[in-house]
């Protein structure tokens, strides 16, 4: 839908920080306003989509009050500045944080994309509203996420007009975006952002922006998307929760020890239901026999050996839940950028996508394209207690994938992708986001993150003892007093252990 201005303005000027609530989120209060420019080609209207380029993850919204200049302003005093404003409306100062590194400060590529300044849908005459009595609200998928008023601004509207007009001529139709309050965050394809500005009974109406995935990736010249954990924290704001990180020594130990050892140690701690039952690595038969190509490395966090001899999975759980198929709900929940696709796009390096398919392997829960995307994002692996499509292709990706059985059918035969980031039941085990998963030819075990360091250290020690015992048994020693290691063998073991280091 066309934006309500008619002709394009000569310029769009945006304020960096202006609401105290946003300044508190950012941890700084500016002494004076600062600005950046957005191109007029970024304007859009209500209903126009916000497009996130393929391969990007951090598309953020910022609900704002927009001022539209009605009369030329050049060197006007604050007392006269409001008279130069013709209208007030709602705006969304959208940003693609994946490109902030390219033009940090100017924000050209991160905030200047086509369609990244939707405004409207209606203009409120400035003479008919109180500039200190405006209310700004933003909703995402119907949930109120921003709610603030213009009487709290660090720099009132008239001060902005006067400040800018000292050196910049503001022309009729120019747009000034006056800052966003607390609550701005990241949205994904399938979300809908709505922004409204009101004053008493008067309202701009809701400016609606559906978020969609642009099927075209960015062309491969110029700056490309880059995202760090600092970028994620900045884009998500207070809603951001950094994924748990395993200590390097713990990660190395968990790569080296077996799930059998970890399972026995969990049992000693009273945790007897920590195995994900009924799953096996892609490329192996359910009994663990190599049956294809598997292994490789993924994101530097998981390893394997070609030919399926060993597939080792170590990573942090990110969860996805499927519910039983209901045909009347599948189009709503299963179409477009559904929970399955969102869960894949949300993956961060070192995470494992854990899928709860209710142990129903009679339809695929993931296939080669999404598994390839997970590998590209640096995922440590995938675990599903449902079916796997394109199993031969997935086995060749070099990404550890554990599943309950191969199946050619798409998920819509049995499953509706429902939600992500919640505790799930996978293969009879309760898995929470942030749990540590370790998988090998014997299966997959779940480690509570607060126990991971201790379990890893104990597993290394237990397996060292078992190697010593195996050597003695191979040399003909009887197992009585040797297995498990008894006092009679303790000194010999300690000497052997020192020699191994």
In a domain, 258, yes or no: no
Residues 50, 165, single domain; the answer is yes
What is the number of domains present in the chain? 3
Say what the pLDDT of residue 308 is: 39
Q: How far apart are CA 262 and CA 69, in angstroms?
A: 67
pTM assigned to the model: 0.65
Q: How far apart are CA 271 and CA 208, in angstroms?
A: 49
Residues 320, 419, single domain; the answer is yes
Q: Are strands 63-69 and 95-96 parallel, antiparallel or unpaired?
A: unpaired
Of 32-46, 135-149, 336-350, the poorest mean pLDDT is in 336-350
Whether the pLDDT of residue 180 is over 50: the answer is yes
Q: What is the mean pLDDT of the chain?
A: 91
Whether the pLDDT of residue 102 is over 60: the answer is yes
Say what the pLDDT of residue 303 is: 37
Residues 370, 398, single domain; the answer is yes
Match 């509207």 to its residue by tokens: 157
In a domain, 267, yes or no: no
Helix (H) or strand (E) holding 458: helix 452-474
Q: How far apart are CA 183 and CA 311, in angstroms?
A: 42
Mean pLDDT confidence for 396-413: 95
Residues 380, 490, single domain; the answer is no
Last residue of a domain, one of 430, 447, 464: 447
Last residue of a domain, one of 447, 462, 482: 447
CATH code for the domain of 35: 3.90.850.10
Summarised one tens digit per residue, pLDDT across range 198-214 is: 999 999 999 999 999 88
Residues 437, 483, single domain; the answer is no
State the SS3 of 236-252.
HHHHCCCCCCCCHHHHH
Whether the pLDDT of residue 289 is over 60: the answer is no
In a domain, 230, yes or no: yes
Question: Do residues 371 and 401 lie in contact, with contact meaning Cβ atoms separated by under 8 Å?
Answer: yes
Residues 435, 460, single domain; the answer is no
In a domain, 48, yes or no: yes
Say what the pLDDT of residue 297 is: 32
Residues 349, 390, single domain; the answer is yes
Residues 371, 470, single domain; the answer is no
In a domain, 266, yes or no: no
Question: Do residues 168 and 142 lie in contact, with contact meaning Cβ atoms separated by under 8 Å?
Answer: no
Residues 465, 429, single domain; the answer is no
Phi, psi of 256 (to 5 degrees): -90, -25
Helix (H) or strand (E) holding 352: strand 351-356
In a domain, 5, yes or no: no
Residues 385, 365, single domain; the answer is yes
Summarised one tens digit per residue, pLDDT across range 85-94 is: 999 999 999 9
Summarised one tens digit per residue, pLDDT across range 474-491 is: 999 999 999 999 999 999
In a domain, 3, yes or no: no
Tokens standing for 450? 């607060």
CATH code for the domain of 349: 3.50.30.40
Mean pLDDT confidence for 411-439: 94
158-159-162 Cα angle (round to 5): 85
Residues 6+ apart with CB under 8 A from 153: 18, 19, 20, 178, 179
Range of the domain at 472: 454-500
Whether the pLDDT of residue 404 is over 60: the answer is yes
Mean pLDDT confidence for 179-203: 95
- The DSSP letter of residue 346 is T
Task: With cut-offs at 50, 70 and 90, classify the pLDDT of residue 55.
Answer: confident
Residues 315, 344, single domain; the answer is yes
The residues that bridge with 202 in the sheet, in sequence order, are 199
Summarised one tens digit per residue, pLDDT across range 442-452 is: 999 999 999 99
- The DSSP letter of residue 285 is -
Give all strands of the β-sheet with 43-44 in edge-to-edge order.
35-38, 12-15, 175-177, 63-69, 85-92, 117-125, 43-44
In a domain, 248, yes or no: no
Residues 6+ apart with CB under 8 A from 491: none
Mean pLDDT confidence for 368-372: 95
Last residue of a domain, one of 447, 472, 489: 447
Residues 6+ apart with CB under 8 A from 20: 29, 152, 153, 154
Say what the pLDDT of residue 345 is: 86
Q: Which residue has the higher pLDDT, 346 or 252?
A: 252
Q: How far apart are CA 392 and CA 401, in angstroms?
A: 11
Residues 114, 228, single domain; the answer is yes
């Amino acid at each position: 839908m066309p934006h309500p201005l008619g002709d394009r303005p000569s310029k769009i000027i945006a304020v960096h920080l202006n609401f105290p609530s946003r300044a508190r989120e950012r941890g700084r209060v500016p002494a004076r306003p600062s600005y950046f420019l957005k191109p007029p080609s970024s304007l859009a209207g209500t209903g126009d989509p916000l497009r996130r380029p393929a391969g990007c993850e951090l598309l953020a919204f910022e609900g704002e009050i927009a001022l539209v200049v009605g009369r030329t302003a050049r060197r006007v005093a604050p007392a006269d500045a409001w008279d130069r404003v013709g209208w007030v409306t709602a705006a969304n100062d959208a940003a693609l944080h994946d490109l902030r590194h390219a033009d940090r400060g100017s924000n050209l590529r991160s905030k200047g994309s086509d369609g990244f300044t939707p405004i409207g849908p209606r203009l409120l005459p400035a003479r008919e509203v109180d500039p200190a009595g405006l209310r700004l609200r933003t909703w995402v998928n119907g949930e109120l996420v921003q709610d603030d008023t213009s009487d709290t601004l660090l720099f009132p509207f008239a001060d902005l007009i006067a400040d800018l007009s000292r050196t910049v001529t503001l022309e009729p139709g120019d747009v000034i975006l006056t800052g966003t309050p607390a609550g701005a965050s990241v949205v994904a394809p399938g979300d809908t952002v709505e922004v409204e500005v009101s004053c008493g009974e008067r309202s701009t109406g809701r400016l609606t922006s559906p978020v969609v995935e642009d099927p075209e990736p960015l062309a491969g010249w110029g700056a490309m998307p880059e995202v760090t954990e600092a970028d994620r924290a900045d884009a998500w704001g207070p809603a951001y929760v950094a994924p748990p990180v395993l200590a390097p020594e713990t990660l190395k130990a968990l790569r080296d020890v077996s799930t059998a050892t970890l399972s026995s140690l969990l049992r000693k701690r009273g945790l007897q239901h920590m195995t994900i039952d009924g799953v096996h690595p892609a490329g192996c038969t359910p009994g663990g026999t190599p049956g294809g190509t598997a292994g490789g490395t993924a994101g530097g966090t998981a390893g394997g050996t070609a030919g399926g001899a060993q597939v080792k999975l170590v990573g942090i759980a990110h969860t996805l839940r499927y519910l039983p198929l209901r045909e009347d709900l599948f189009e709503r929940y299963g179409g477009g950028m559904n929970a399955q696709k969102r869960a894949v796009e949300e993956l961060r390096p070192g995470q494992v996508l854990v899928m709860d398919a209710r142990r129903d392997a009679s339809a695929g829960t993931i296939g080669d394209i999404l598994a390839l995307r997970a590998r590209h994002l640096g995922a440590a692996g995938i675990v599903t207690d449902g079916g796997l499509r394109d199993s031969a292709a997935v086995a060749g990706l070099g990404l550890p994938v554990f599943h309950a059985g191969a199946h050619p059918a798409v998920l819509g035969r049995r499953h509706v992708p429902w939600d992500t980031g919640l505790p799930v039941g996978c293969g009879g085990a309760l898995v929470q986001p942030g749990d540590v998963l370790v998988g090998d030819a014997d299966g997959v075990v779940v480690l509570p993150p607060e126990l991971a360091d201790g379990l890893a250290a104990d597993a290394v020690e237990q397996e060292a003892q078992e190697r010593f015992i195996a050597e003695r048994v191979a040399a003909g020693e009887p197992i009585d007093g040797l297995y498990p290691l008894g006092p009679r063998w303790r000194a010999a073991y300690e000497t052997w252990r020192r020699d191994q280091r």
